Amino acid sequence: MFARKVAARLKPNSITEFTNLIECEILPWLRKQEGFLDLITLAAPDGLEVATISFWDQPCNAQTYDATAYPEALKILEKLLDARPYVKLFDVVGSTFQGGPLTQRSEAEDLAQQTASPQIEHRCHEARA
């Protein structure tokens, strides 16, 4: 398993819009990418610095995303960024997340995640309106 870390500085007062774009546009798109396993989004308390860590089954899938889909994701987020993000690929050598290394979710787990997130769906619907 591999992790792709993207760190960036945000423009002031843009953390809410950033998280909405991640949840409503970027994450659904990532879930369709071959080899994508999970995403963690982190924000500094002041909301001016963010990092995302995406988990991939193989480095080639993370690299394919980086070469093909990531430029499109950057276009979606660029109005919120203070500078170009920093990207780095890591091997996952240990984890206690979910009791062990991350594994690809089953279809049932994906469905449970989607149906268990009515607040996110409501927020995404409001953001589109």
Contact 66, 6 (CB under 8 A): no
Q: How confident is the model at residue 127 (pLDDT cuts 50, 70, 90)?
A: low
Question: What range does the domain containing 72 cover?
Answer: 2-104
pLDDT for res 119: 52
pLDDT for res 6: 96
- Distance (Å, rounded) from C-alpha 127 to C-alpha 118? 14
Domain assignment of residue 49, yes or no: yes
Residue bearing the bigger pLDDT, 70 or 97 = 70
59-68 vs 70-77: helix axis angle to the nearest 10?
Answer: 50
Domain assignment of residue 91, yes or no: yes
Domain assignment of residue 55, yes or no: yes
Average pLDDT, the chain: 82
At 85, phi and psi to the nearest 5? -65, 160
Domain assignment of residue 47, yes or no: yes
- Distance (Å, rounded) from C-alpha 78 to C-alpha 14? 11
Domain assignment of residue 64, yes or no: yes
Contact 118, 29 (CB under 8 A): no
Q: What is the CATH number of the domain that holds 94?
A: 3.30.70.100
- pLDDT above 50: residue 102: no
34-82 confidence digits (pLDDT tens): 999 999 999 999 999 999 999 999 999 999 998 998 999 999 999 999 9
Domain assignment of residue 118, yes or no: no
Number of domains, the chain: 1
Domain assignment of residue 50, yes or no: yes
Domain assignment of residue 19, yes or no: yes
| Type of residue at 71 | P
